[in-house]
Structure formats: structure tokens, C-alpha cells
Amino acid sequence: MNNRMDGQRIVVVGGGSGMGLAFCGRLMRLGAEVVIVGRSREKLEAARESLRASGEPQLHPADVTREDEVRRLFEETGRVDHLVCTAADIRGAYELLPDLALDALDRAIRSKVVAPILLAKHGAARMTARGSITLTSGIAAYRPRPKGVAVAAINAALEGVVRAMAVELAPLRVNAVSPGWVRTPIWNDVAGADSERLLASMAEQLPVGRVGTPDDVADAILFLLGNGYTTGTVLHVEGGHRLV
């Protein structure tokens, strides 16, 4: 597998923070041309500033749950070699069933299932035959916790989407990375001020003795982009969580 990505154009949806941001930095250091897509212009500008030492990404504000904005995204980017989506809006989705609001459920479904389908619908025709689409599932599909019904269902659905798109869009490759517990800003939305105590407790339960980092997930996504014999696959990066 060639570790350099010189001249390759890679669209990263959700690259403004967390796992996506770490991945963008890695891509630029490998010579790729990176387009970061997100809803918040402020967050995109902050990402560009934090990545300045690695290069200059292109920024494209868009709400990828809206088909018109996805269509415009690919009209403006033109040719794409790889598409990666790490975006997720799960605010309010981690709730016990009696407290689960339907608008939060709908928002989470649109961000993690509808948006990837729209991205593939409008992006696949712009992609090279040797390109790839990589989506983001998660450990909740395999080891759900109380309050995790919505997220477990959504991640399981996304993995079905990956397998179906790998067949329909071939020879374009379609895969997913499935992170376990990873230290990212999303935990502040889930656990608030209790996030550090919760992550420390989680680390004690894992065979590797720690929670993941955004760089752990970036490594996995890079593998999926570079290995031309991998498609329809879910790559688990979860510190052995499925074993315990």
C-alpha cells in the first residue's frame, strides 16, 4: 500500500473536529488535497487554523442532510478520489426510551443514514473507479448500553447501507470504520461534566486499558482508503470492546 496520497482529492464530511479533524491533518501531511465539509463556517475556519502547520484545506459549508446542498457540493468540488464521512448529530439521541424525543431521533437518522446515502447518490458519479467511500459506524451496534437504542439502531442500519452500496457502486469501494469509546468532543454532548470520569471508567473495562484517540481511527480510515481489495467491510477500532 502506497502511503503517499499526492494529488488525490479527498472530501471529508465532519472534518471540522474530533476524528475527522485528526484524519484531515494526516491526509494533508501525506500530500492529499483535502476538502472539509461541515455546517458551521465558524467550526470550519477553526479547523483550518488548527491544521495550518499541515497545509491549507479547502472549506465547503454544507448541510449534508439536505439534497440540494449535497448536489451543489459535488458540482463545486468536481472530481473526487475518496469520500469520508465522520459526521454525526446525536444530540438528544442517548436517552432512555420514555425520554427519547422523536425530533432527536430523526436528526440522528438523517445525519448518520440519510446523509451518507445522499453523499453516495451525488458523489459516486464524480469519483474515480479506484476510489472509495468510507462511513462511520460505532460500537453501539454491537455493545449497546442503556439509553443506546437509537444509536444502536442507526449504526446497524448504516452497516447495512455499506454492504448494499458496495455491491451497487462497484468497482467503487464502500466500507465503514466502527470506533469504540474514543476521546472526542462528542462525549461532552453525551455526558457533559461527567465525561472524564466516564471515559476513565470505560478504559478500565477494555483489554487495551485505555479509550481510543482520534489518531487511532485516522489510521483505520487510511487503511480502508489505501487497500484496493477491501470493500463492504466494517473495520472495528474498539480496543477489544466486543470481547468484554
The mean of the pLDDT values for the chain is: 93
Kindly report the pTM of this predicted structure.
Answer: 0.93
- Encode 190-214: b = buried (16+ Cβ within 10 Å), e = exposed: eeeeebeeebeebbeebeeeebbeb
Amino acid at 34: V
Please tell me the predicted confidence (pLDDT) of residue 188.
57
Phi, psi of 137 (to 5 degrees): -95, -140
- The string of pLDDT tens digits covering residues 56-74 is 999 999 999 999 999 999 9
pLDDT value of residue 88: 92
How many CA atoms lie within 13 Å of 167's alpha carbon, on the beta-carbon side?
A: 5
Q: For residue 171, say if its preceding peptide bond is cis, omega within 30 degrees of 0.
A: yes
Over residues 173-185, the mean pLDDT reads 91
- Gap between the Cα atoms of 81 and 8, Å rounded: 6
pLDDT surpassing 60 at residue 1: no
CATH 3.30.420.10 fits 9-236, yes or no: no
Query: Among 116-125, 126-135, 187-196, 205-214, which is the least confidently predicted range?
Result: 187-196
Contacts with 91 (C-beta within 8 Å, 6 or more apart), sequence order:
104, 107, 189
Is it the case that residue 185 has pLDDT exceeding 70? Answer: no
- pLDDT score of 107 more than 50: yes
> Which cell is 208 given?
487495551
The alpha carbon dihedral of 164, 137, 176, 14 has a sign of positive
* Mean pLDDT along residues 97-101: 97
Average the pLDDT over each of 48-52, 198-202, 237-241 and give the range with the smallest value: 198-202
The order of strands in the sheet holding 234-237 is 58-61, 33-38, 9-13, 80-85, 127-136, 173-179, 234-237
Per the CB < 8 A criterion, the answer to whether 207 and 149 are in contact is no
What would the mean pLDDT of 110-129 be, rounded to a whole number? 97
pLDDT at 151 over 90: yes
Element (H, E) at 165: helix 149-168
197 or 32, which is more confident: 32
Q: Read off the pLDDT of residues 157-169 as tens digits, 9 standing for 90 and up.
A: 999 999 999 999 9
Domain spans in the chain, listed from the N-terminal domain onward: 9-236
Q: Which helix (H) or strand (E) holds 107?
A: helix 102-109
Q: What is the pLDDT of residue 114?
A: 98
Question: What angle (nearest 5°) sits at the alpha carbon of residue 69, between those of residues 162 and 83?
Answer: 35
- Cell numbers of 143, please? 455493545
Task: List, for residues 187-204, the tens digit of each pLDDT value.
Answer: 655 656 677 888 888 899
Q: Measure the CA–CA gap between 20 and 84, rounded to whole angstroms.
A: 9
